[in-house]
A and B are shown apart, each in its own frame.
Chain A
Amino acid sequence: MEKEQDRGVGRYICRCAWQSLKQKLFQSVLLGCFAALVAFLVFAGTLLGSSMESGIGRMKERLGADLMIVPHGQQGKTEKLLLTGNPEFSYLDRDLEQVAANTKGVKKTTSQFYFSSVSADCCSTRVQLIAFDPGTDFAVLPWINQEEMKKTKKGQVLIGADVIAQGDHTIRFYGEKHPVAGKLSRTATGLDQSVFMTRDTMNKILEDAKKKGFHFLSPKDKGKVSAVLIKAEEGANLDKIETSLLKKATAKGDKIDIVSTQKVIGTVSAQYEFFRKGIRFLQILFILTSSLVLFLIFSFSYRERKKEFAVLRIVGVTTGRIRVMTCTQGGMISLIGGLIGLLTGALVLFPFRVLISDSLQVPMITPAAVTIAFVALMALVLTVLLGVAAADIAIRTLGRAETYFTLREGEA
C-alpha cells in the first residue's frame, strides 16, 4: 500500500474521475442536480421539522394562561398574536376580570392591554405594545430574569426577542425614550415582536401619542382591557369554566369570545404533524426516485464508457480498482451536488424563515448552529453515500455480463 501512496495512485484516480466527469458535462450536471435535490430535501426538511418542533415546545411552555377572555370577534386575532401576527384590537370592560376570578375552577386572573404602535423608531415593522399588571401577572414576569426584574423601574420596558433596542438601551415611542430593562427569551410567537410594560408606562405612551395628535383609547380613561388571562386550577374542567364565563358575560351584557390556548396549541400541533408527515413523505419519495435516477444515469454512462473499462482491463487494472474509480466519481459528483443542495437549502431556509413560519402558521425556532451543522453533515453524508452506492451497483450490474470488459473490433 505504501508503494501505491508513493505513486500517487489516489491522485491519479481522482484526476481520471474528474476528467471523465468534465467530459460528460450534461450527464454530470444531471447527476449533480439529483444529488442536490436529495441534500436539499434532507437538510431543509429536517431543519424545518426540528425548528417547528422546538417552536411548538417553546410556545407550550410560554403560554402561561389556559383561557383568555377577549372581545367578541377577536378570537382569530388573538390566536394570530399567539402565533405570528400584529392584529388590531378592540377592548373589554375591566370588571370582567373580577367576574372571571369569581368563577369556579379559576385559580388566577390578570389583565393585559394591547396596542400596536405605528411609529417605534426601533423596528421596520410595527411592534405590539403589551401592558401587563405586575400585581397579578403570571404570564410575562415568570419569564423575566430575576436580575432584570430588580432593575426594572417605572417607565422601563421589556422587549421581545425580535425587538432591537437602540445603542443606549432605550426604545422610543412617540418621541419619548424608554429605557429597556431586559429582553425576553424567544417564544417563536408574535410575542417576540412585542414590547412589555406596566399600565403606567402604557398610559404615559398613550399620552405622548395624544400630544403628537394620535388619539388612542387609554386603559386609564375608560377602564378597559384587551384580554383577561385565566389560569385554571389543577385538573379543572376548562370547558365548564368557558361555558360559565360566557353565561355570566351575556347576563352582564358583554359580548366576549374565549380563546383556549390549549386549543390553539392543539391546532398548531396538528398543523405541524401534517407538515412533518408531508415532509417525510416527500423526503422518502425523492430519495427513492433520485437513487433510481442516479443509478440509471450511471448505468447508462457506463454502457457508453464500455471502451474505457475495456482499456483499463487490457492494461491490467483490476475490477476492484475500476469499482474504486467509478465510486470515486459517484462520490465526487454527489459531493458537489450535495454541497449545492445544502447551500440552496440554507439560502431558502434562513432568509425566509419568518415568511415560512408565517405562511405555515407554525412557530419556528432555528436550532443551534451545532445542530444545523450536524444536520448538514448528515445530509451530505447521506447524499454522498447514495451517489457512491448508485455508482457501485451500476458498475457491478454491468460487470456481471462476463464479456463486458472485452473490446470487440469496430467498438471504438
Chain B
Amino acid sequence: MLIRAKNLVKNYEREGVSHRVVDQVNFTMDSGEFVIVKGSSGSGKTTLLNLLTGILKPSGGSVFFEGDDLKKMDDGKLSEIRNHRISYIPQNDTLLSNLNLWDNLRLPFFLGKGGDLKEGELNERLKVLLEEFGLSDRKCSYPRELSGGEIRRALIIRSLSLSPDLIIADEPTGSLDPLTTLTVMEKFRRIAKEGIAVLAVSHQPETFPFGDRLYEMKEGRLLPAKVFTNKK
C-alpha cells in the first residue's frame, strides 16, 4: 500500500463557525493505480489533495505514506517526500515568475533533495518531456510569456522530472484543448503502467475511463463512483 488516508478530517473556521471541508475520508492507493476524483466546486477536492501531500495538517485522522504517518515526520523528511516521492501538480499556476521555464523545471532538482538523479540525466529527461508536450522551443520563456495550457503542461513536466512514486494532480487538464487532454491522460495511463500511482482531480467525463477507479467528492466525503476494469 503506497498511500492511505484514515478518518481524515479538515475543518476551517469561517466567521467563527467551523466548517468540515474534508469529512472522515478513508482511502488507499497502490503503486501503478490511476485514480480519478470528480466533484462539484467547493466540495473539498483540493483540500484533500493538500492533506495527502502533507502541505496541510489534518484536523483529525492521518495520512500514511508507505506506512509512515505524515504527521510524525519532520520538515526535512516531509520535504524529501514532496520533492521526489509524491509530486504535486497544484490547481493553479505554480511556476516561479522570476525564472524561465527551463530553470523552473529544474527547481525541484536543485533546491530539493533531488533523488539519485545526475544533472545530465535530468536534462536529458526534461528534453524528452518538453518534446513530448510540445514545449521544446519555449525553454527560455518566462511564465508570463506562456499560455494557460502551456503552464499546465509545464507543471506536468515538472512533476515527472524526478520519477516520483505518486503523482497528485489537481485538474491537470483544466485549461487544455481536447487533443492535449487526451495526450496528458494517455501519458498518465502509461506512467501508471510503469508502476507509478496517479491521483487526478478532473471534471471532464471523457477523462474518466483512463483511470482504474473513479471517486466523487461530495461535501467533504469521498464516495466510490465507478470502477473501470477494462484498462487493468
Residues of A participating in the B interface, judged by any CB pair closer than 8 Å: 6-9, 12-13, 15-16, 19-20, 22-23, 307-308, 310-321, 325, 402-403, 405-407, 409-412
Contacts and interface: CB of A to CB of B under 8 A. Distances in A.
A307 B94 contact: yes
Interface string B27-56: 000000000000000000010001001011
Contact of B55 (A7, A23, A406, A410): A406
The interface size bin for chain B is: 35 or more
Contacts of A12: 103, 106, 110-111
A7 B119 contact: yes
Given A19-B99, A313-B82, A405-B55, A8 B110 contact: yes
Contacts, number: 95
Contact of A15 (B79, B81, B103): B103
B172 interface: no
Contacts of A318: 75-76, 79, 112
The 4 closest A-B pairs by CB, nearest first: A316-B83, A316-B82, A316-B112, A315-B108
Nearest to A10: B110
B75 to A, nearest CB: 5
B194 interface: no
Nearest to A403: B56
Interface in B84-115: 84, 87-88, 90-99, 103, 106-114
Contacts of A403: 56
A321 B97 CA distance: 19
A23 B143 CA distance: 13
Given A317-B112, A410-B92, 11 more contacts: A16-B103, A16-B111, A19-B98, A20-B98, A307-B94, A310-B94, A315-B87, A316-B83, A316-B113, A317-B79, A407-B55
Contacts of B108: 315-316
A311 B90 CA distance: 9
Among A15, A311, A315, A406, chain B packs the most CB atoms within 10 A around the CB of A315
B152 interface: no
Contacts of B93: 412
B153 interface: no
B55 A316 contact: no
B111 A315 contact: yes
B13 to A, nearest CB: 11
Contacts of B112: 315-318
A8 B106 CA distance: 12
Contacts of A9: 110-111
A313 B93 CA distance: 14
A13 B112 CA distance: 11
A407 B94 contact: yes
B92 A311 contact: no
A407 B82 contact: no
Contacts of A325: 111
Given A7-B109, A316-B113, A318-B79, A311 B99 contact: no
A260 B187 CA distance: 96
B12 to A, nearest CB: 10
A307 B91 CA distance: 13
B158 interface: yes
B196 to A, nearest CB: 17
13 contacts: A16-B96, A16-B98, A16-B99, A19-B98, A23-B98, A313-B82, A314-B94, A316-B113, A317-B79, A317-B112, A319-B79, A407-B92, A410-B92
B57 interface: yes
